[in-house]
Amino acid sequence: MPQIPVKIHELTVGQLSARSGAAVSALHFYEAKGLISSRRTSGNQRRYTRDALRRVAFVRAAQRVGIPLATIRDALAGLPEERTPTREDWARLSENWRAELDARIQQLGRLRDHLTDCIGCGCLSLETCVLSNPDDVIGEQISGSRLMGEKKRG
């Protein structure tokens, strides 16, 4: 990644892209989602402060571990004066996300364990296919209805 001289305080979108490794389209997307911000020059070109580099690194690191953009945006918005996250911020926030990641890993493990039932099947049944209905929502609704019916009858 190309270094940006310290005397440069603002970056073009191309410089931010080259330095962060994020595609220009991704940077525009992050900006549209409120994850980074820029000012516009008189020629309507974007200019980012240097700390946008750290914000982009934060966003990309969080995305790599599967944190949804809305969660990342909330985390950034929750920092005092929406400052750029520090090392301590990342440590604290990533610790908070651990439970969410653990739950997702467990769910993926369950999906993996049941994938063999789906190979060559293609039914994608909401009642029997774990890939179609990984949380077994219908099954829970059915058993809940049955339970309620049983209570009324019983």
Q: DSSP letters of 47-107?
A: EEETTHHHHHHHHHHHHHTT--HHHHHHHHHTSGGGPPP-HHHHHHHHHHHHHHHHHHHHH
Give the H/E segment covering residue 40: strand 39-40
Does residue 138 interact with ligand FES by CB under 6 A?
A: no
**Cβ nearer to ligand FES, comparing 71 with 125:** 125
Does residue 123 interact with ligand FES by CB under 6 A?
A: yes
Distance of alpha carbon 108 from alpha carbon 110, whole angstroms: 5
Tokens 């009642």 sit on residue: 127
Does residue 108 interact with ligand FES by CB under 6 A?
A: no
Q: Could you tell me the smallest distance in angstroms from the CB atom of residue 114 to ligand FES?
A: 8
Does residue 124 interact with ligand FES by CB under 6 A?
A: yes
Count other Cβ atoms within 10 Å, centred on residue 65: 12
Q: What is the DSSP letter of 32?
A: H
**Cβ nearer to ligand FES, comparing 122 with 154:** 122
Specify whether the CB–CB gap between 30 and 22 falls below 8 A. Answer: yes
Q: Could you tell me the smallest distance in angstroms from the CB atom of residue 23 to ligand FES?
A: 34
Q: Could you tell me the smallest distance in angstroms from the CB atom of residue 126 to ligand FES?
A: 10
Does residue 128 interact with ligand FES by CB under 6 A?
A: yes
Does residue 18 interact with ligand FES by CB under 6 A?
A: no
Q: Could you tell me the smallest distance in angstroms from the CB atom of residue 120 to ligand FES?
A: 9
User: Which residues sit at the interface with ligand FES, rule CB under 6 A?
Assistant: 117-118, 121-125, 128-129, 131
